[in-house]
């Protein structure tokens, strides 16, 4: 069954089967477009992944690789009516998932009471009707009637949304976001995923080697600022433990920041706090597949990393704090890389990353106030914020 959110980038009804909308913020295709079963079959034979709900057709070609349940799950349903799959089992897709699906709408299937497409399973529009309970949710996306003007930078607009901001920001879209008027500032707010290991792994390795050598000198002691009689020697054998402590502490920091800072609810009447929330994390929930905004850009990341480094240096001996920091820095790199992969990777079904991906997608589309762990669900278990599996009634 379909897992996670069906969605993707809408394709022009007249384009080739695998062509998706460009990153330019184009409106949804006109609803008047229609396709015969034979036309749909030609696109399926060319490798496209089109599905339908009732008579409405959706091109998911650009999304199959990102689908939480795996590419093959969608490929196996190419040409089919997925209305029943949206309602589960194994789970009922959220309203956000259904809205997300509408961004892929390309047109309607022409009615043919006897028509069906072999191998593509495009059955007649009249043989399977859309579930009436779902019908109100299947509405084409009209970007011109959104609460913001998508042709302009969003950061200066979201503060005016007031009480509508929280609902709006948690209705994801599949289009890029522009935050700033300035091209330079806009460029600094975005980055490619591989900038993270390129910049921070060499620093982590250098600090690790440097502080290991310091510990190996045998003159580092803990608690000397409080007492010399009961201070504790820190030989080089403590390096692995301190490094792993840094990794563990980062996983906790990751959870706490995500839960209490990134998911704070700004006051409805605070223009600047709404802006702050949007630039910190809201923009990621609004456009979860904007790959240029999935990892922290180097400039703001440098400020946060410098803060933690100075903090550890102030409360611990240099070599001890530096070793813990190096472990935490590796934890941050792993976190950012895993976060990118959970959005754009296709982990093997049943694997640890597969389960994490499904967990994270549920956080984006249905459970924004739980499931805060990215690289691990340990702290969600510990603080009771785990996203629980929803029971689904058995089909008679």
Kindly give the pairing relationship between strand 116-117 and strand 122-123: antiparallel
Q: Which long-range contacts (CB under 8 A, 24 or more apart) does 180-187 make?
A: 180/153, 180/155, 181/153, 181/156, 186/153
Eight-class DSSP state of 76? T
Q: Where are the beta strands (DSSP E) in 170-324?
A: 221-222, 232-233
Backbone angles phi, psi at 230, to 5 degrees: -115, 20
67 is in an annotated binding site: yes
- Write out the H or E segment, with its range, that includes residue 252: helix 239-256
Pairwise CA distance, residues 314 & 311, whole Å: 5
Spatial CB neighbours of 58, under 8 Å, sequence gap ≥ 6: 6, 8, 50, 51, 52, 101, 104, 105, 106
Pairwise CA distance, residues 307 & 292, whole Å: 24
The answer to whether 242 and 368 have CB atoms below 8 angstroms apart is no
Structure tokens at 227: 């007492």
Pairwise CA distance, residues 283 & 186, whole Å: 13
Instruction: Choose among 128, 323, 305: nearest CA to 211.
Output: 323
263 is in an annotated binding site: yes
364 is in an annotated binding site: yes
258 is in an annotated binding site: yes
91 is in an annotated binding site: no
Spatial CB neighbours of 260, under 8 Å, sequence gap ≥ 6: none
343 is in an annotated binding site: yes
The answer to whether 371 and 380 have CB atoms below 8 angstroms apart is yes
93 is in an annotated binding site: yes
Kindly give the pairing relationship between strand 221-222 and strand 122-123: unpaired
381 is in an annotated binding site: no
Cα 204–chain centre separation: 26
Structure tokens at 141: 């996306």
β-bridge partners, 51: 58
Cα 282–chain centre separation: 11
Pairwise CA distance, residues 233 & 358, whole Å: 45
Specify binding-site residues. Answer: 67, 93, 258, 263, 281, 284-285, 339, 343, 360, 363-364
Annotated binding site for heme: 67, 93
Please report, in range form, the residues annotated as the binding site for Zn(2+).
Answer: 258, 263, 281, 284-285, 339, 343, 360, 363-364
């Amino acid at each position: 069954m379909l897992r996670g959110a069906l969605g993707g980038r809408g394709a022009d009804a007249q384009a080739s089967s695998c062509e998706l909308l460009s990153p330019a913020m184009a409106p949804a295709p006109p609803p008047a477009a229609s396709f015969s079963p034979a036309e749909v079959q030609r696109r399926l034979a060319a490798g496209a992944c089109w599905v339908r709900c009732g008579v409405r057709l959706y091109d998911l070609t650009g999304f199959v690789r990102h689908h939480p349940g795996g590419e093959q799950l969608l490929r196996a349903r190419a040409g089919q009516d997925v209305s029943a799959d949206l309602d589960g089992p194994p789970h009922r897709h959220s309203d956000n998932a259904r809205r997300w699906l509408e961004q892929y709408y390309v047109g309607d299937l022409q009615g043919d009471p006897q028509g069906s497409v072999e191998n593509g399973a495009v059955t007649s529009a009249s043989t399977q009707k859309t579930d009436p309970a779902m019908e109100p949710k299947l509405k084409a996306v009209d970007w011109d009637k959104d609460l913001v003007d998508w042709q302009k930078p969003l950061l200066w607009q979201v503060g005016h949304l007031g009480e509508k901001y929280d609902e709006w920001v948690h209705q994801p879209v599949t289009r890029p976001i522009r935050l700033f008027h300035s091209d330079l500032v806009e460029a600094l707010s975005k980055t490619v995923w591989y900038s993270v290991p390129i910049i921070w792994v060499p620093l982590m390795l250098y600090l690790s080697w440097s502080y290991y050598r310091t510990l190996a000198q045998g003159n580092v002691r803990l608690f000397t600022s409080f007492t010399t009689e009961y201070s504790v020697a820190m030989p080089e054998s403590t390096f692995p433990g301190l490094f792993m402590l840094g990794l563990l502490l980062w996983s906790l920091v990751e959870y706490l920041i995500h839960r209490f800072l990134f998911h704070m609810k700004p006051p409805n009447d605070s223009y600047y706090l709404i802006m702050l929330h949007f630039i910190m994390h809201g923009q990621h929930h609004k456009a979860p597949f904007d790959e240029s905004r999935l990892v922290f850009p180097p400039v703001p990341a440098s400020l946060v990393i410098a803060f933690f480094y100075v903090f550890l240096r102030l409360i611990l001996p240099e070599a001890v704090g530096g070793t813990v920091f190096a472990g935490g820095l590796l934890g941050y790199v792993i976190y950012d890389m895993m976060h990118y992969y959970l959005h754009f990777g296709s982990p093997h079904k049943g694997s640890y990353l597969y389960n994490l991906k499904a967990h994270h997608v549920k956080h984006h589309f249905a459970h924004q106030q739980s499931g805060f762990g990215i690289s691990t669900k340990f702290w969600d278990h510990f603080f009771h914020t785990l996203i629980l599996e929803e029971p689904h009634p058995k089909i008679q």
